[in-house]
Structure formats: C-alpha cells, structure tokens
Structure 1
C-alpha cells in the first residue's frame, strides 16, 4: 500500500459537490500537457479547446462515466482542516484537490480491448509525495474488476513527458506501439 501525505485522501469522485474542483484539475492537466510537451502551437490547441461548451460537455461525460462505474474516477482530496490554514500553499493551490485519475468505464474496454487510463494528474505541489502512486493503485484495482477482452491497462503518454514516462516505467508499464493522429 502506498502512503500519501496525511492530509490527502484517495476516494471515488462525487459529482454533485465537486464538479468545479475536478474541472479545475482538468484544465490544469490540459494546459500543462500543451505547454510542457510541445511547442506554442500545441499549447494554443490545448488552451483553445477549454471553452464553456467543452467544460459543459466534459462534465456531462464525467457524470455519465461515473454513473456507469462509480470507481472509474478517483480523486485525491485535501482534508478541510488543512485548507483553513492560509499559509498552506498546497491547500490553496488545489482548492481541495491534489489530483485525480480517470479510468474509462468497462463499457469502453472494447476501444483498445483493455482497461483505458484516460488521465492521471497531480498538482505540482503534491508531486513526488505518493499521490500519483496512490491514485494509480486505486485505478489498477478498479481495472482488475473490469471484464475485459485482454487483461491489460493501456494509456497514452506524450513522448516529451519524461516525468510521466518514468512514473509508468516504475509501475511496470511497457511500450506498446505508438499512437498516430490526423486532422479531420
């Protein structure tokens, strides 16, 4: 079992009361992915999609996924008692969240014939403290409960995201081809 900082708890996402906190993490994930794993064009593409329409559609999709599989989204929450201390940079940075992991529900297992880790994000101030490890462990447990064509977990990691590559290497993930894209 992986340990997190004492103020962090890993639990299933509860959509009714935490939509905007999850959205804040999603935006940070997208902006960081665009800015740190490519050129300014990639950053512009990732930033430009974060519209009100995207916000609403993404939260609707999250709600649908959570209804299909309540364990598919795990969040790392920062305890309320920690948030009240204004001197705690970590708590104010994340507004209650230290990160999240999003596993696609079992229904989507036929996309890659496997469990699909869609996203895993930890805010910078909680990186290296076991939060990502704990989120990944919870997601692996959820994935193991899915009935899948092939018992494996697949995920996409940008080649330039060295920190993420090292994390997944450490967790026993292996390269399995490469993803190609084309504009529509």
Structure 2
C-alpha cells in the first residue's frame, strides 16, 4: 500500500473520485441483505448522481472544509463528510453524514485520521449541542466497532417509517 494523505476536498478536481467512493459506500450499506442491496443499488441513477453532485457543491460552497478526502498515489480512497453547520440544525449538533474508506485501506489508521478531521471540523461549528452525531446501521458491525473504539456512545435510536407502506 502506498502512503495516503488526508486533505480538503476540491469539488472540481475530486468529484469523479468522490462519486466512485459514494457509490461504493451506498452499495456497501445495502449489502446487509438482498432487499436492501436492491434498493441501494437502484437509487444510484444518473439523476441521483447529478442531484448528489449539486448538493455536495452546495455544501462545499457553504463550508469549504466540510469534506475531507484520503488520497494515495492512485486517487481517492476515502472520505468523511460533516454537514455544514446550517444543515446540522436537524439534530442541533454537528452531523457526520458519511465516512467511507476503501477496503484495501481499512485497518491502516486512516479511519482515525478521518475521524480526527471530522471532530476538529465539528468543534469549529457553533451549534446548540456540543456533539458530533451520526447514524450507523446496527448490522454494520465493522463501522460500529470503529465508532465505539473512537469513543462514540449511543445517544438515542433512529427509527424510520416506510413511505411506500400502505
């Protein structure tokens, strides 16, 4: 494995690599079971890609340091995305929206580097609650272990309602 470094995301230069990582992130989220896999894979349409790109651009225009990427000699291999403070009022706390590291780079300490950057960024946000929150699928044991090892603690439970339900 080559040396990898963390740096601030550049929307123009890094978008193609970020999209590849985002798609891998979504497919991995869906890998817990077949019905989930189908739903996550089906959402990765050209329209979703364009919408996500616009949303990321909006976030970066509001907060240029909200996304940190990990780059090695071959390109981007990971990222962490902390929502801009004006979006974070959803939970009145800093929100870690996404963290993803390519499988070949897991166990290398880079996840901790990304979390260090996310925490430092979140500390700079002025919000009602001095917390960095995220949701993690209980079936994603690997991610749960990373967050637990880093010091995240359970703070409630997210529930969801299926909008397609009768």
Question: Could you tell me the TM-score, scaled by structure 1's length?
Answer: 0.86
User: In structure 2, what is the equivalent of residue 67 of structure 1?
Assistant: 61
Specify every segment of 5 or more residues in structure 2 that has no aligned partner in the other structure, as ranges: none
**Contact residue 114 and residue 149 of structure 1 kept, 8 A:** yes
Q: What is the aligned partner in structure 2 of residue 76 from structure 1? A: 70
What does residue range 1-184 of structure 1 map to in structure 2 within 5 Å?
7-35=3-31, 37=32, 39-79=33-73, 83=74, 96-184=75-163
* CA–CA separation in structure 2 for the residues paired with 1:109 and 1:25: 23
TM superposition shift of 1:109 = 2.1
How far residue 178 of structure 1 moved from its aligned partner, in angstroms, is: 1.1
Give the secondary structure class of the aligned counterpart of 1:129.
Answer: coil
Cα distance, 1:182 vs. partner? 1.1
Partner of 1:92: none
1:116 match: secondary structure: strand
Q: Give structure 1 regions of 4+ aligned residues with deviation exceeding 3 angstroms.
A: none
Cα 1:169–1:72 change in 2 (3 A) is same
User: How many residues are aligned here?
Assistant: 163
Greater relative contact order structure (CA < 8 Å, 6+ sep): 1
For residues 46 and 30 of structure 1, the distance between their equivalents in structure 2, rounded to whole angstroms, comes to 6
TM score, norm. by length of structure 2: 0.95
